[in-house]
Structure 1
Amino acid sequence: MENSVLFNIQNKYSKLSKSEKIAADYILNYKKDYENLSISKMSEKSNISQPTIIRFARALGYKGFKELKYALIQSQSANNKRQLNPMGGLQLTGNEKVEDIPAKVTVTITSLLENALKSISVTDYCKLIDILKNAKSITIFAIENSAATAIDLNVKLSYLGLNCTYNTDPYLQKVNAANLKKGDVAIGISYSGCSSITVENLKTAKKSEATTIALTNFNKSHINKYADITIYSSSAQYFYGNTIFSRTTQLAIIDMIYIGLLTSDYNKYTKKLDKNKELILNLDNNLGQQSEKM
């Protein structure tokens, strides 16, 4: 797992003032040992005042610059000891027994889900539920690793009776984005927030006056520019960027959306679920009867 202080900066980035964001950028792009970090050099090179840097540190929850610097040094030291373990929170030495892996993975996932909960704005989450309830149509945009999450969201919203669409074909996604209009909702799912196809589709949807939603991992990402509401799944980066654990928190967000909608109008949505369940059971029975005749 990366420097926890940097995660904190990324999470709070959107809430910082313009000058505080300059300080944040300086820290995020700082490549040297934090022992060499000084408030005077930071002030000079970033062209912001020392009081601004102190306010920035306090915005992160520290008493001042010295406490921020100490936290950066501690996190950097911990990272060096882990040698930037590519499994993130899952500590592997190569000497583990196979039978211990289920417990290790479970502990890691639990930690990631707790991190996700801290990253979610309850206000934005409630707005999202209200927007989806009143949407004329919902179109989902996602590719590659996020496609599985998009499929899961599409299935769940469809079972609730919402007018939802997801095409795996990136060309059809572009067409769908261009055809949206006011009253429609576009949801872009991208772990990194930098997937060019998904970002471009959300940008197109916004130009079409659709309400845009982004499900991503970082505050400071391209997709946020075109989102009316952003739901953050976490603040951590996992195994080789996004291949193993990223989907865990994404799917948790999908379940939160599903249960949130169900709870918001329980009678309405349970009737839809019962109706769709009956349709599926009838389909299964018909298929079973056809196979018996063959």
Structure 2
Amino acid sequence: MSGAFAERLDGAWEIEPEPSAPLPRCPLSVGQGIGLDNLWVLAGAGGLFAVVCGADGEDDGTAWHAAPLLEPHARLAAPEPPAEALAAAGGGSGARAWLEEAFGAGACRRRAAGDLPDGITHAGTRDFLVEVGLPSLEGLLQLQTHGGLKPLPEDGTDGQPSGVRYELGHWMYAPLALDGATGQVLRLPRDTAPEPAAGSLAQFFAMVRLFDAYRRGFHPSRADRRDAQQVLAAWCRRIDPTVDESDTWDAVLGGHPFEDGTWELVTKDGRPPL
């Protein structure tokens, strides 16, 4: 028994030696194959599969249809978000431990209730700052939070009345702020209106924590990585629908290739470093 080896080069197949059965027609995503008698084992971007060819198979045929004959009939079913993530997004008692698993011990800097600025009147935000603490981060998701709450001018950076806001740090080259009355987290681009980042501190940092788990994950193929991105996006939308109103979250959840330390733990193929 002798085998034939096939490889697609510059769009055309090169096959050596002459195969027992013609190579079946394949989409462009298939680039290599091994033929044994009437069996072809083929590989490409989508994975590995085998085809058994009929004895009277031909080496040519009609052209591929320009479009699929059927609409897609299967979609990725995202599992439920981790219970710890949902609890943390709601400001649950385990939020501090869950966040510090990723951000590091002591990263969440708590404040005494008496030390909080008077302008932070939102009850859930005050509870978060006292019981969980404001995470102090550097680099992840181009996010820098210094652990402080610097008051911002009441007219905001866009020249519009904004209420009482406090700078948390920077996210994607723009200030990140907390609205003390509503608890909302906002990104403040220089020349455009404020962009909602999350409905609360708890929701924002829960989503950042989920992204951190995603970027550390092992994705054997592009398809696996794409599935993981879709699951992450579904989880974040479950935690906070605000992400649909944010251009920044759209980039994060769409697989934007960040240039900072966000990707330093993985290769361009999504694999962990050796």
Please classify the TM superposition score into its range, dividing by the shorter chain length.
Answer: under 0.3
Report the structure number with the largest CA radius of gyration.
2
Q: When the two structures are superposed, what TM-score results if normalisation uses the length of structure 1? A: 0.22
- The structure in which a higher percent of residues are helix is 1
- The structure in which a higher percent of residues are strand is 2
